Amino acid sequence: MFGKNTFIIAGIIFLTLLFTAAAGCIGSSPTDQNAVLKIATPNEITEASYYGNYNFAQITRVATPPLIQVDENGDYVGAVAKSWTVSSDGKTWEFTLDPNYQWSDGTSLTADDVKFSLEYAAEKITTAPSWIKSAAITTSENVVTISLADPVYRLFGDLVAINIVPKHIWGSIDDPEEYISAGPYVGSAAYYVQSVDTNSATLVLAVNPAWKGNAPYYGTVELHWFATEDAAILAMLGGECDTYWKYGASFPTSSVALLDSSEKFTTVETPSLKMSYVGFNTISSDAGSDLAFRKAIAYALNYDELVEIGASGYALSANSGFIPNGVPYYKNTPANIYNLATAKLMLDAAGYKDVNGDGIREDTNGSALTVTLLTRDKVAGELIKEYLQKAGLKVEYKFASDLNAWVELKDAHAYDIAYNGITAKGMMMDSGWATGYFASNTLGAGKLQNVDDPVFLELCAKIATTPDGDELKALISDLQDYYSDNMPGIALYWSTDVTPINTEIDGWYISKATGILNEINLLSMHPAN
C-alpha cells in the first residue's frame, strides 16, 4: 500500500543484527544495558508533573507502583504489597510489603512510605477517593493496616490508582499537583523514571539498581508521545518505535487492518470491559418510561451493523443482561436480537400505531411519535437515528458537540433515548456493574443517571455494602435480571481490545486495566528467539 517493503525489510535485517549482537551479551547478565524498548503513545505528557498530569501518572505507575495491580484476567494481584487480608466486616485491611521493591536511590521502601503515600493522596490530590480521608493507617514493620470508618468492599478499584511514592522525596513538596521536574524520579519497581522532556516528547525509564526481583531484559524503556494518533501509529509502522500503547484503550479498531497487512505486527484480541449502549429517559419521558416501548426498540436496533461500523468488527453483540461476559458474576441472559418486523409488531401492540398512514406512528394522544435522540458520537448517533426511523418513529436528533452541551442536555433529561459509552473504569464505579451509569443518585458528567426506580436504587445500595461471595453473586444475578426485564438501557455491543504485537519481541503480558504498560510485561518482554 505504501510501497514500503524495502524499508521494512531493511528494518528487519537491522533489528535482527541488533538482536543477535544483543543475544551475545545475555550470557553474563540478563539485562542488556544497551537494549532499548521504544513505545509510541498518543497520550501526551504536557507537563513534567508527576501528580498534576494525568498521563504522567498513568505512565509512571510502572515505576512507582501502587500496592496492587490488575492482571491479564482483570483480577487484582500484588505489586508493592505481596499479600493482604481483609476482616469480615470489610473495615480492616492488612497489606504485607514485597521486599523486592526498593527505592532507586538506595533507600529501602518501608511501611511508612505506604502510609505517607495514602495520606498524601488524601490530603493533596483533588481526585482522591472519599474513604481515604476518614481512614486510619497504622504500620508495624513491613505491614500496613488501613482501618476504615465504613466498610468499602470495592477498595481495590481505588487502590490500583494510588502510587506508592518515597516519603523522603515528596514529604517536602507541598503542592504536588503544581510540582514540575524533569527527573529523575526515585522509583521502586524494576524501572524508575530517569528523565522526562516535553520538548522532545520522551520519557525514559532506566533499570532500578536497587530492585531485588527478576531483572528485566531492556536496559532502557522509552515512551514517545505524539500529538496525533496517526503520527504514533506511523512511528510504530515505520520502525521508529517497537510498539504502541494508549491508556485504557484499544488500538484504534478502524486501523487494525494496517497491522494485519504488516509483516512485523500481529494482534491479540481480548474481551474488554468497555461497551456501548442506549439509555432511555425513564424519569420524565412518556415513551422512555413505557417498558413495552423500550422492549420494542430492543428489536429495532441492528446490532451486527453497529459492531461492524461502530467498532470495525472488534466487538461482540451483547445480551439483555447488559454487562459484558468479562465482568465478575456474569450471568447468561437472552441475547439482543435485531428483528424489525417484531419491533414493529411490538410497537403496534404497545399502542403506537400509524393510524393516518403517513409512515410515522402516533402516540396514545394521536400526535406523531417523536423521540429525541441525544448523542455525542457521530457515527453511532446517525445509525441509531436511522434504525428508529425505520421502525416508524419521528426522530429529533440532538448532537452534543462537547461535554458541556452533553451534560446540560442529559442533566435536564432533555431526551428520550441517549447513546453513551461505558469505560472499563466506569463499569466498576459507584456500586459497580455499570450501575453508576443508571442510578439517579450518582454524580458524574459521563453518566445518564436515568433510573429513579426505588427497586433499582435499593439493589445498588445493597451491592455497595456486600462483600465478595455468594450473597453478592445473588445480588448481581438479580441486577442482570433487572437490566434484562426492565431495559433501562440496551447494550449495543461489548468491545474487544486489540493490542498490536511486535513479532520480534516475545513474552508479551497484557493487563486488563493498563494494556502492555504494566510491570509484569516489562519484566517478561525480550527479543524473540
Partner 1 sequence: MKFDRRYILPGLLILLFLIVAIFPGMFAPYSISDRTATYQAPGADHLLGTDNMGKDIFSLLIYAARWTLMIGFASGLLAVFVGTAVGLLAGWRRGALDEFLMGTTDIVLILPKIPLVIILAAYLGPSPWVLIFVLGLLSWESIARVVRSKVIQIRSSEYILAARCLGFSDCRIMFKEILPVVFPVIVPKFVLVTAAAMISEASLAFLGLSDPQTVSWGGMISDAFTYSGFLRGMWYWWLPPALCIILGVLAITSLAFIHERGVREVMQL
Partner 2 sequence: MNKVLARKLVRYAVCLLIVVLLVFLLPRCMPGDPVQCLVGEDVYLTQEILDSVTAKLGLDRPLFEQFQIYIGDLFTGDLGYSYTRHQNVADLIWDRLPWTLLLTGMSMLIGYAFGIIAGTWSGWMTEKKRAKIMTGFGVFVSCIPPYLLGLIFFSVFVYQLGWFPYKGFYETPDFFSVVYHMALPVLTLALFVFARNMIIMRGSVLTEKNQLYPQFAKSLGIPRRKIIYGHVMKNAILPILTHFAIDFGFILSGALFIEIIFSLNGLGRVMYTAVLNLDYPVLSGLFLVIALMAICANLIADILYGIIDPRVKRGDDQ
Give me the residues that bind partner 2 (CB under 8 A), please: 2-4, 7, 44, 46-47, 49, 51-53, 126-127, 177-178, 180, 197-202, 224-228, 231, 234-235, 237-238, 240, 402-404, 408
- Whether the CB-CB separation of 509 and 268 falls below 8 Å is answered with no
**Judged by CB under 8 A, does residue 459 bind partner 1?**
no
Cβ count within 10 A of residue 187: 31
CA dihedral 391, 396, 400, 404 (to 10 degrees): -130
- Window 245 to 264, contacts with partner 1 (CB under 8 A): 252, 254-255, 257-258
**Judged by CB under 8 A, does residue 470 bind partner 1?**
no
Residue 133 Cβ, how far from partner 2 at the closest point, in Å? 11
**Judged by CB under 8 A, does residue 230 bind partner 1?**
yes
Nearer to partner 1, 20 or 266 (CB): 266
**Judged by CB under 8 A, does residue 379 bind partner 1?**
yes
- Window 119 to 138, contacts with partner 1 (CB under 8 A): none
List 329, 330, 399, 509, residue binding partner 1 (CB under 8 A): 399
Which of the stretches 24-32, 230-238, 270-278, 330-338 binds partner 1 when contact is defined by CB under 8 A?
Answer: 230-238
Residue 207 Cβ, how far from partner 2 at the closest point, in Å? 20
**Judged by CB under 8 A, does residue 378 bind partner 1?**
yes
User: Which residues, listed in sequence order, are joined to residue 396 by a DSSP beta bridge?
Assistant: 372
The helix or strand, by DSSP H or E, that contains position 342, with its residue range, turns out to be helix 340-349
Choose among partner 2, partner 1, none what residue 252 binds, the Cβ cut-off being 5 to 8 Å by kind.
partner 1
Return d(Cα 281, Cα 235) in angstroms, integer.
44
Choose among partner 1, partner 2, none what residue 108 binds, the Cβ cut-off being 5 to 8 Å by kind.
none
- Window 307 to 366, contacts with partner 1 (CB under 8 A): 308-309, 312
Residue 9 Cβ, how far from partner 2 at the closest point, in Å? 14
Cα-Cα end-to-end distance for the chain:
29
The cell numbers describing 467, all together, are: 462483600
**Judged by CB under 8 A, does residue 397 bind partner 1?**
yes
Return d(Cα 270, Cα 284) in angstroms, integer.
38
Per-residue interface string for the shown chain with partner 1, residues 181-210, x marking contact by CB under 8 A = ------------------------------
Choose among partner 1, partner 2, none what residue 96 binds, the Cβ cut-off being 5 to 8 Å by kind.
none
**Judged by CB under 8 A, does residue 383 bind partner 1?**
yes
Residue 391 Cβ, how far from partner 1 at the closest point, in Å? 16
Q: Helix, strand or coil for residue 498?
A: strand
220 half-sphere exposure, CB direction, 13 A CA radius: 13
List 72, 177, 382, 506, residue binding partner 1 (CB under 8 A): 382
302, 387, 392, 401, 481 from 339: Cα distances, Å = 8, 11, 14, 31, 22
Nearer to partner 2, 224 or 376 (CB): 224
- Whether the CB-CB separation of 383 and 238 falls below 8 Å is answered with no
CA dihedral 298, 299, 303, 309 (to 10 degrees): -90
Residue 76 Cβ, how far from partner 2 at the closest point, in Å? 25
Choose among partner 2, partner 1, none what residue 399 binds, the Cβ cut-off being 5 to 8 Å by kind.
partner 1
In sequence order, the 6+-apart residues with CB closer than 8 A to the CB of 165 are: 50, 64, 113, 116, 117, 120
- Whether the CB-CB separation of 191 and 206 falls below 8 Å is answered with yes
- Whether the CB-CB separation of 58 and 516 falls below 8 Å is answered with no
Nearer to partner 2, 2 or 474 (CB): 2
The cell numbers describing 88, all together, are: 469480615
**Quick one: 433 exposed, middle or buried, by C-beta within 10 A (0-12, 13-18, 19+)?**
buried
**Judged by CB under 8 A, does residue 407 bind partner 1?**
no
Return d(Cα 411, Cα 402) in angstroms, integer.
14
Choose among partner 2, partner 1, none what residue 47 binds, the Cβ cut-off being 5 to 8 Å by kind.
partner 2
Cβ count within 10 A of residue 516: 21
CA dihedral 289, 295, 296, 298 (to 10 degrees): 110
User: Which residues, listed in sequence order, are joined to residue 501 by a DSSP beta bridge?
Assistant: 266
**Judged by CB under 8 A, does residue 401 bind partner 1?**
yes
Residue 52 Cβ, how far from partner 2 at the closest point, in Å? 4
Residue 177 Cβ, how far from partner 2 at the closest point, in Å? 4
Nearer to partner 2, 38 or 526 (CB): 38
Which residue spans within 189-303 are E strands per DSSP?
191-197, 202-207, 218-225, 243-244, 265-280
Q: Which residues bind partner 1 (CB under 8 A)?
A: 1-2, 228, 230, 233-234, 252, 254-255, 257-258, 308-309, 312, 378-379, 382-383, 386, 397, 399, 401-402, 405
